[in-house]
Amino acid sequence: MQPLNRLSFGNDFLWGVAIAAAQNEGAWNKDGRGPSIWDNFAKRNGKIKGGARPTENCDFYYRYKDDLLLAKALGFNVFRFSFSWSRIFPEGTGRVNKEGVLFYHRLIDECLQLGLIPFVTLYHWDLPQALQHEGGWTSVMMLKWFSKYASFCAEEFGYKVKHWLILNEPMGFTSLGYMMGKHAPGKTGLDNFFPAIHNAVLAQAEGGRIIRKLVNNAIIGTTFSCSEVNPFTEKKEDIAAARRIDILLNRLFIEPALGRNYPHDDFPLMDKLHLQTKAWKFTERMAFDFDFIGLQNYFAVTVKHNSIIPYIQASEVKAVKRNVPVTALGWEVNAESFYRMLKRFWNYGSIKQIMVTENGACYKDVVENGRVNDEQRIHYFQQYLGALLKAKKEGVNISGYLAWTLMDNFEWSEGFAARFGLIHVDFKTQLRTIKESGYWWRSFLNS
């Protein structure tokens, strides 16, 4: 492998780290914050590995100054974080929590003082529990609630923050939270999934319009998870299964944003979605001309036909059974697949710019003699950055790369066991230890 050179990406290429409020802040009931769906979900037995709860996490709420200094010391110039909706609106709407607003002002000010460009995500999976009681993302009121929240944030912080991300991975929170029940709020079934999809599609576009109207010189994006979907065999049944899963994982949210409506392609599940949208409002408002889209890629997926599985008639063939490299979570490591996904999204033709807003790997890190040797993670980043550079040199307009994540945190249903950070966190003492991958980034970004 050719040694990577930061300058090969261009002097204006943005390098950063990403975190999320629900995964990092902690202080779940401090200074007026209301509960989120993850606070409630974590109380249900068996939902989070190890019985973990996002009560303290890595204590970012109180340690943000030190953590920002670490991000700066590693050489990054972008810091992506999210607002906790329930820290600003404890009941989801109505009353504003001034202490929560002041916290985000302090956080933004500290970023600017350190020369870190703040990238703010409006929604990173932590809906106020008060709104979930009224139906959450399935409610006909969702667009109204989200619009008021987005408008407040734009008016309150827009003179300081110019880079905005509307939603984080809508396929993630709608499928895992409102179809499969594996994530908060733990709902299941198409009657929850379909309205959650539609409301998220509308929210990502309406949020963009609100920021455009209220924030001068705003640079607006939203993020999509993506995974190359491969058939297990060349049988037509497996190929058809892969196409169905591809619609869900890669096309369901980007195509409405681009003005192409929901994908169809002879998929009965999409037939049902199209039939329902005929009765829904605002289908003409699903599109928005984003300044960039954020792509988030962690693994490729291989699937085969499975007639037992309802709706999708497909099941995954796990990477560990196919003798391919995997992370500690069993996710396939495939940098060439990442390259192909960058090219594929760019080939839509109507995307102005792509930013990799998350990418990283979980490994079983161990602290020994005050150091964390995570050579596998370093190798992962080298492979994926090499693939990104290849796509960029072939004409894909990629503006930046944000590593997931600055420090180990609350990894949703995986609890505290799954570690993605460049910095190791001892969750009992809150001691931070820079991993070898963090030092690698410092060397790379200072080269």
The residues annotated with a catalytic role in the active site are 169, 358
Number of CB atoms found within 10 A of residue 163's CB: 20
* Two tokens, residue 172: 């993630």
How far apart are alpha carbons 405 and 149 in whole angstroms?
A: 26
Residues in the chain: 447
How far apart are alpha carbons 115 and 92 in whole angstroms?
A: 32
Task: Give the residue among 231, 204, 398 at the shortest CA–CA distance from 286.
Answer: 204
b/e 405-438 (16+ beta carbons within 10 angstroms → b): bbbbbbbbbbbbebbbbbbbbebeeeebbbbbbb
Q: Which residues, 6+ apart, have CB-to-CB distance to 94 below 8 Å?
A: none
The CB-based long-range contact list for 189-193 (8 Å cut-off, 24+ gap) reads: 190/272, 190/311, 191/138, 192/138
Angle of the 335-346 helix axis to the 375-393 helix axis, nearest 10 = 30
